[in-house]
Amino acid sequence: MVEMTTQHHTASQGSMLSRSWSMAQSLGLFWVLVILCAIAIYLSPSFIQVGNLMNVGRQVALFGIVSVGMTFVILTRGIDLSVGSIVGVVAVTAAMLLASGMSIPLVMAIALVLGVVFGAVNGIGIVAFGMPPFIMTLGTLVMGRGIAMTIANGEPQNLGDATDAFYFLGGGFLFGVPVPIWIFVAVAVIAFILLRSTAYGRQVYAVGSNAEAARLAGINVNAMLMSVYVISGFLAALTALITVSRLTVGEPTAGTNLELEAIAIVVIGGTSLFGGEGSIVGTVIGAAIIAVIANILNLLGISPFTQQIVKGAIIIAAVMFEVYRHRQRH
């Protein structure tokens, strides 16, 4: 009993210190974002135009929603490589169901459930069969892309008569702001409250900091791990619906490499790949940093191939910094 109390105190204290450190990091990242925006305006005055800022906001929203789910996973010292493929499967499924005449609310419900099922499959593989998260989600990444290509026969799927009504989700405006931005704000606020102000959030940090200590403290570690992969799958499906709505077509290749973008955003946002440390605020700023950098490269006319090189270098630099920081602290 004494041991469990001590472990519980240690896990709680560790998670509180980690969250305080994460908030300090977020403040530093905010100034990095401000400097990047200043550089963008200097290099290309068109950056500050309303139309361009709306596009940046949409990019932040699409990257950000799936990255919020990835934050939950990485906080528990896991990783989810399947989110891009989930987007592909859900995109073509939703498009085909809409084209068949099914109602929009029902299609959206089925799509979100499909994302939850994918997340649950990842969680079961990791929890019940002891699969390493990297291997398990790599498997579902490959399977998911194969499923998307098979059911769509490798072809883009049109929405049929549902195009106009469904377009509002990804292409509409609410009070002059694109709807995807409102959705991202809602997702980020809910995730922030969940991690900062609930027992569930404290348990996520505790599991990532030390799974054994969390288990001794009475936390159901397996249930926690299952839940974060379900959240990740759900938010990937939500991203897919917004993408289909925006493009008015379901592409089986939708979401390709999205997992890399999400991991980069989460790491740049200060969430540790070693678990137990990070914040939703950092992820939101990380998404904005990636979107601003991508926008600067587009405005400067840098080719997509060169942009991939730049993004790869940013990911490597962010991970190297994270590894260095982890070694310094341990």
Q: pLDDT per residue over 69-83, tens digit each?
A: 999 999 999 999 999
Residue 73, classified by CB atoms within 10 Å of its CB into exposed (0-12), middle (13-18) or buried (19+), is buried
Dihedral sign from CA coordinates of 145, 151, 157, 163:
negative
Helix (H) or strand (E) holding 316: helix 304-329
Q: pLDDT per residue over 195-223, tens digit each?
A: 999 999 999 999 999 999 999 999 999 99
Q: pLDDT per residue over 291-300, tens digit each?
A: 999 898 888 8
CATH architecture of 51-329: Orthogonal Bundle (1.10)
Q: Is 56 helix (H, G, I), strand (E, B) or coil?
A: helix
Enter the pTM of the model. Answer: 0.89
Nearest one of 31, 36, 14, 76 to 231, comparing CA atoms: 76
Residue 269 corresponds to which tokens in the numbers above? 């946002």
pLDDT level of residue 3 (50, 70, 90 thresholds): very low
Residue 25 corresponds to which tokens in the numbers above? 């990091």
Q: pLDDT per residue over 242-272, tens digit each?
A: 999 999 899 999 999 899 889 989 988 989 8
Mean pLDDT over each residue of the chain, to the nearest integer: 89
pLDDT at 284 over 90: yes
In the chain, what are the helix, strand and coil shares in percent, each to the nearest 5?
80, 0, 20
- The amino acid at 275: G
Nearest one of 237, 241, 240, 271 to 113, comparing CA atoms: 237
pLDDT level of residue 149 (50, 70, 90 thresholds): very high
